[in-house]
Chain A
Amino acid sequence: MGLLFVLPAALYVAVFQLGPVLYGLVLSFSSYSPISRDGPSFIGWDNYAAIVNDAEFGQAMLVTGRYVLQVLPITVAIALGLAILSNRTFRGVGLFRTGLYVPHVVSLTAVSMIWLWMYSDVGLVNLVLDALGQPGQRWLTTESGALNAVSAMRIWKALGSNMVLLLAGLQTVPKDLYEAARMDGANAWQQFRAVTLPGIRPMLTYVIVMDIIYLAQGFAEIFVLTQGGPYGTTTTVNYLIYTEAFQYNQMGSASAMAFVLFAFIAALTIVALRAGQGRRS
């Protein structure tokens, strides 16, 4: 009887989630082009071996790692600051919270289109610079600037959801702990370190883990803003997988790349979880 209750959900997970993942795993050991009339042919570990020697994949891994590392700390730090600010009672706090959350509601692709214009030669960013008497920049077409420009957009996009989650965490911290800390003579910084941070640690860990998972799979913003350029300096692993699979029809090697990316994300996630648990203990 119990099995019948879980059967629909189990079927859904098996058919639409586990099935494609397993098929992807099989493809990663195969050579397969969707326009070929032959099905996938088993080639063992060749795709994985090719990845090891693939400079482009190595470069994409570095770009992905850099992207995660330069977005994650900034977005979490700013979001935490904004969460602390919006945890106070002041006039217009609801509007403040809503305003910060709006970017999260809009699709990443749509947001990227808007930022594409903002970063263009005659876009908002250069107009502001011009008004300040500064020369305009080519934000998305220089090696030094393109990934930073994408990162700035991603930081802005991630702020709202991170802030709301951290705000929820802040509101679970008992007020009497702050009162006790104040009575012990703790200043604001000491209260933050001894009360706030331990209190929101589970939520902070969750936010960091989810950000790692999302950022390491960065695609839509890259597709819209830079298409991986200039010369591969913004090509993330997920964007490389897209070109490999859908531009070059190399489904096997694209699947292998996807599983290496999965391992990379899993490793980062485990490190983040361990760090969170370690501090708690």
Chain B
Amino acid sequence: MRRVQRVPISLIASAVAISTLAACGSNEGEGDSELVVWFPGNTEAEMELVQNSIVPAFEEEAGVDIEVTYVDWPDLGPKLNAAFAAGTAPDVIGHGVAATADLAANGRVLDLSEYLDQMDPTQREDMGSALPGGEVDGTPYMVPLMTTIRMIAYSAADFEAAGLDPEAPPETWEEVREVAEDLTERDGSEISRAGLVVPSDPIGVQQTFGTLLWSNGGEFISDDGNATMDTPEAIEALEFYASLYDGESAVDNTLGAQLPNQPAETPVVTGQAAMQLVNAGDIIKLQEAGPDRDLRLMAPPAFDGAEPGAFGGPANGLMINADTAVPDLAWDFVSAMVEPETNLEYVEALGALPVHASSIDSDYISANPELQRAVEALPSAHPNPNVPGWTQMRDAMGQHLERALHGEVEPADALEQANTEVAGILASGS
């Protein structure tokens, strides 16, 4: 009999435990004094700044508790989706711009128009070039925290050693290619120092191709929502990209490689490359890691007759959960994060570029001519299309681009197939 009595007790205990767990996952009953925020990534300097400085200051000023969680990039999508499905998504969501369209299409994030209308007009104007990056079909859903742009970092030391003038870097992609050949060193048939290294890993391949495509006047998707990857501009851009790895005149020996994230291991820092397409905001870290390399940034090149364009624009930003019980508090936190001084500290910690045009006069930017050049180049930054299903399109086109780079198919055929797949995803509306 005693053993039989244990069953209902354990059942009751289980019921209590389940109720408790369920309560933990619910937003009901939470007051205006708690805010849950998720940030993407695991950059130590960023985490330290946010958790030890920005959040405590906001908590003290607003009299609230903020629970900040950093989620590693690869886990962010799955965890956020699971949280939405379970009703436990955070009040404020930090994410990449590419995620905005899908979340907006499913009504998961707030339209921020009303809040932005209440923002100080001067500050709003100051963020004028960054804010459109968080819009989907003209409606703002994300407030960008940083901007970025891909630029070519080059070693002035290598330029001088090769008899080139580091003060007059190439201005077009054709010139970049010529200079890259001059800078490439070979050991027999192997490249011992690459003249130019560009990303070609599964995600990097799309961003690099985008940089070449936009600087040749092309687009992935037209304004009216059609795939436009099989145009002459796109074919020329991909042929140029593939030629970097092809034959005896190849200038890049990193095809398919995941380039190191650590500045000290970056090819242009280690001397394995003389030029490298990098995230321009990283230039200070690269210079510090390789002081003898005399690293500089060149203005984004274009193909002959086209305007410069490079992958970039607003990168990470903050959105507000449409189901949050505390939308005003969430907006206050978002506003605090984009205060010019706070935002400058934040981007400095991350090695990114600020969202305020006025930041070009700040000590952080003006102290380094290369960083200043990066900010000046921001008008050439071009973001990926902000449409639902973009991640799927990116991966689908990436595989075809990779095949072309490996010489498996002709660039024109690869782009035709990529165009068909992208058009299919656009048509499915996913």
Contacts and interface: CB of A to CB of B under 8 A. Distances in A.
B399 to A, nearest CB: 4
Given A231-B402, A231-B406, A249-B102, A34 B81 contact: yes
A8 B81 contact: no
Interface stretch (A76-84, A98-106, A138-146, A155-163): A138-146
Interface string A185-224: 0000000000000000000000000000000000000000
Contact of A248 (B10, B84, B106, B392): B392
Contacts of B255: 138, 141
A247 B256 contact: no
B257 A121 contact: yes
Contact of B406 (A1, A36, A37, A143): A143
A247 B395 contact: yes
Given A143-B406, A231-B402, A138 B257 contact: yes
B108 A4 contact: no
A231 B200 CA distance: 11
A33 B106 contact: yes
| Interface range, A side | 20 to 34
Given A138-B257, A229-B202, A35 B7 contact: no
> Chain B contact residues: over half helix, strand or loop, or mixed?
helix
A151 interface: no
| Interface range, B side | 20 to 34
Interface in B55-94: 77-78, 81-82, 84-85
Interface string B235-268: 0000000000000000000011100000000000
B103 interface: yes
Contacts of A138: 255-257
A37 B102 CA distance: 12
A34 B406 contact: no
A227 B106 contact: no
Interface in A218-264: 227-232, 243, 246-250
A123 to B, nearest CB: 12
Contact of B257 (A8, A36, A37, A141): A141
B102 A35 contact: yes
Contacts of B22: none
A230 B10 contact: no
Contact of A135 (B4, B77, B190, B408): B190
27 contacts: A33-B106, A34-B82, A34-B84, A34-B85, A35-B81, A35-B102, A35-B103, A36-B106, A37-B106, A37-B107, A121-B257, A138-B255, A138-B257, A143-B406, A227-B202, A229-B201, A230-B256, A230-B406, A231-B402, A231-B403, A231-B406, A246-B77, A247-B391, A248-B392, A249-B81, A249-B102, A250-B430
